[in-house]
Amino acid sequence: MRWGSSSAAPRVGAGSTAWPRSSFSPCRTGWPSTSGRSTTDWIGSRTTSKSCNDKGTTVTPDRHGSAVITFPNELEVVITREFDAPIALVFDVLTKPEHVGKWGATPPDRMTECSIDLRVGGNYHSSFVTGDGTVFSFSGTYLEVEPPVRTVETWHFNCWPDVEAVETMELQELDGVTTFTWRLAFHDKAGRDHMTGFDGRQDSLDEMEAILRSLLDPSRA
């Protein structure tokens, strides 16, 4: 994820917390980071104003660092993020291996596997290697698939073999802006308590924005 250089902090919703500094170490707690930069290096400016015209050129908001995390109860983590792109395109970037392989890991980390069988009963699996050689992987089985608005799937992380969770990804579009809601519901509180750092997740969402911009305007690629 890319944060600007100003002192502005990420948005915080009711009952939520700002993106914390990750204390993650291999196979412990938090969300594995996919960048060498620290969370505090990323915290910074963002533009959330509406699109405007400047000499005939449409400029969409830069929403980097704008994701919001909430804890609605002791079992769930919910992250919301807006993208200035049509819902069908956002769904494709979320679910097609050629895109997930780009935002699932960012330098110096490297995605080594990304397979997605997008159907009820189909499986997904992704893994990446960090700069120090640590391997992380996520896998599961699709329970519901409703393009382009929703998927529900089991969620397994190789470093937490005893943790059970269900992941839900939902999209809603309004006036050209698509809101992505990512929900992770754990089987028990002990599983949810693993989630203490989210810098890696924020990084992926910001990389998704860059991919969407390049697809909407190939000249930016």
Give the predicted TM-score (pTM) of the model: 0.73
Question: Which residue, chain included where needed, has tokens 């997904």?
Answer: 124
Q: 3-class DSSP state for residue 98?
A: helix
Q: How many domains does the chain have?
A: 1
Task: Give the pLDDT confidence score for residue 194 in this predicted structure.
Answer: 84
How many helices (H) does the chain have, and how many strands (E)?
A: 5, 11
The answer to whether position 52 is within a domain reads no
The answer to whether position 137 is within a domain reads yes
The answer to whether position 203 is within a domain reads yes
In angstroms, rounded to a whole number, what is the distance separating the alpha carbons of residues 29 and 197?
Answer: 7
The answer to whether position 83 is within a domain reads yes
172: CATH = 3.30.530.20
The H or E element that residue 155 is part of is strand 150-157
Low-confidence spans in the chain with pLDDT less than 70? 1-61, 65, 197-200, 220-221
Residue type, 55: K
In angstroms, rounded to a whole number, what is the distance separating the alpha carbons of residues 147 and 122?
Answer: 15
The answer to whether position 158 is within a domain reads yes
The answer to whether position 167 is within a domain reads yes
Rounded alpha-carbon distances, angstroms, from residue 61 to 12, 85, 86, 179:
19, 11, 15, 14
Provide the residue range defining the domain that includes 214. Answer: 1-7+74-221
The answer to whether position 99 is within a domain reads yes
The answer to whether position 85 is within a domain reads yes
